[in-house]
Chain A
Amino acid sequence: MAHPPSRKRDVRRALAFSVWLYGLFLHTYPATFRRAYSLRMMRVFRDSCRDALQRQGTVPLALFWWQTLSDLLLTACLERWAVLKEKVGAMTTYTHSQRFPLRLRVALAATLLAFVVSLIASLHLYLLEDASPLTQAAYIASPVLRVSYDGIYLSALAAGVAVCAIVGYALLQRAAFVVVSLIIVALLIAFGGFGGLLVRHPMTFLVLFVVFLTLTMISFLIGRVVAKHAGRRLGQRPAAILGACVSVGSALLVNVVALVLHTLILNLVSHELYMQGQIGGTHWNFSLIVMVIAFVTVIACGVSLASMFRFPSHQP
């Protein structure tokens, strides 16, 4: 059957436009599927569309498009669902088999335990000294006592930020999101931890803020260096978690050194005050026990983290 030239032109235009539009719609499919089949699908679509146009003209094109689009949307959703299932499956295998070895889980548990113990030790010291009327006298008697006290407090806060980094790397896929979240968390912790000083003692706040940020940055950078080196053997995500554990460990190391120093000096001072009859007794025993437990858990954390570096290379 012969068609007038204007109708042929309309059909050609409608066909070209339809093929172009279908090419755009193909972007709803996952990239892997598109790479493999988009050209073939476009060719099949062009043939079907041309036949439909030649048989029925441009008017019933809407019905043809309706059928094509419903097929496209349904199969694109199914294909994306299949890809998602594949990714989740791969992630589960990745999580439970080679990539999160037992040693990393032990190191993680030891790190969290050391953090909790150090936090309790720091809180114990805070409650002890905050409630005591002799604290100021003790600080005047020994400036190291004041510095080590601030060191304990600030390093515990820095360790808290690093613990948030562990959670961040475990939950978020993109490292950039973790870094942004950590900046927000660090500011919240700083202002929540000693923000009150901003009004009463702005200079003290500034000094503490700078020390806190320095501690947090140093521990974070140590963690990133470790993560970079371990990434080749463990994979990116477990290495990032290991790096965050090392960040916590390095902040806790500062914490425990300050804690040991502080406890020993505190006991000397309080012993002297006791001998002078200014206080009824010393808190020698409990402080020492807390200090020793904190010290032991940080050592355990360090050993478990060090054992990760003797871990054999990951075989993909």
Chain B
Amino acid sequence: MEEILVKQPVNDAEALLPLSPAAFYILLALTGGERHGYGIMQETALKSDGKVNLGPGTLYRSLKRLLMDGLIEESDERPVPELDDERRHYYRLTPLGLQVARAEAQRLAALVRMAQLQQLLPQPGTFSLEGGA
């Protein structure tokens, strides 16, 4: 008798954590709405004050992975159709993608809290003379 193996769909956001920095930046960029590849690159550079520049290779490798995991999907909607190139591919967050982005943000926030407790970072609302906040 043959055994039938069925791959269970991943519904648990925790199972997809931790995200790579590039993947998290992409999810963050898409929380504001649909964006095309170059739009994601620009948004990421903007949000990171120019510190993170996703190259096309990293961007599309991450997009491929996020599409496979069901965290994002391709969108047919165009924010400004008359100004846009119809050959561009737009991406948007799925509900699971939003859930995973939140879970990753909470994970990172917990890490930051731990760093604050260990006095690696200043406590919120305090002022440090050594630099930083």
User: Is A75 located at the chain interface by the 8 A CB criterion?
Assistant: yes
A43-B61 CB under 8 A given contacts A48-B56, A68-B56: no
**A29 → B minimal CB distance (Å):** 8
User: Is B64 located at the chain interface by the 8 A CB criterion?
Assistant: yes
How far is A25 from B25 in the complex, measured between Cα atoms in Å? 26
Q: Between A and B, how many residue pairs show CB distances below 8 Å?
A: 52
User: Is A126 located at the chain interface by the 8 A CB criterion?
Assistant: no
A44 touches B56 (CB 8 A): yes
B38 touches A76 (CB 8 A): no
B89 touches A75 (CB 8 A): no
User: Is A284 located at the chain interface by the 8 A CB criterion?
Assistant: no
* B37 contact set on A, CB distance < 8 A: 40-41, 43-44
How far is A256 from B118 in the complex, measured between Cα atoms in Å? 82
> For window 39-77 of chain A, which residues contact chain B by CB distance below 8 Å?
39-41, 43-45, 47-48, 67-68, 70-72, 74-76
User: Is B7 located at the chain interface by the 8 A CB criterion?
Assistant: no
Mostly, the A contact residues are: helix
A36 touches B64 (CB 8 A): yes
How far is A2 from B60 in the complex, measured between Cα atoms in Å? 34
* A191 contact set on B, CB distance < 8 A: none
**A21 → B minimal CB distance (Å):** 13
A67 touches B53 (CB 8 A): yes
Mostly, the B contact residues are: helix
* A74 contact set on B, CB distance < 8 A: 57-58
Chain B minimum-CB-distance residue to A78: B61
User: Is A194 located at the chain interface by the 8 A CB criterion?
Assistant: no
* B41 contact set on A, CB distance < 8 A: 44, 48
How far is A36 from B89 in the complex, measured between Cα atoms in Å? 12
* A78 contact set on B, CB distance < 8 A: 61
A40 touches B61 (CB 8 A): no
How far is A40 from B89 in the complex, measured between Cα atoms in Å? 8
How far is A44 from B89 in the complex, measured between Cα atoms in Å? 11
- 10 more contacts with CB within 8 A, not counting A43-B37, A75-B57, A79-B61, are A40-B37, A40-B89, A41-B60, A44-B38, A45-B56, A48-B41, A68-B55, A70-B55, A72-B57, A78-B61
The 5 closest A-B CB pairs, nearest first, are A71-B55, A75-B57, A41-B56, A47-B38, A37-B60
Mind listing 8 A-B residue pairs with CB under 8 Å?
A41-B56, A44-B38, A48-B38, A48-B41, A48-B56, A67-B53, A71-B58, A75-B61
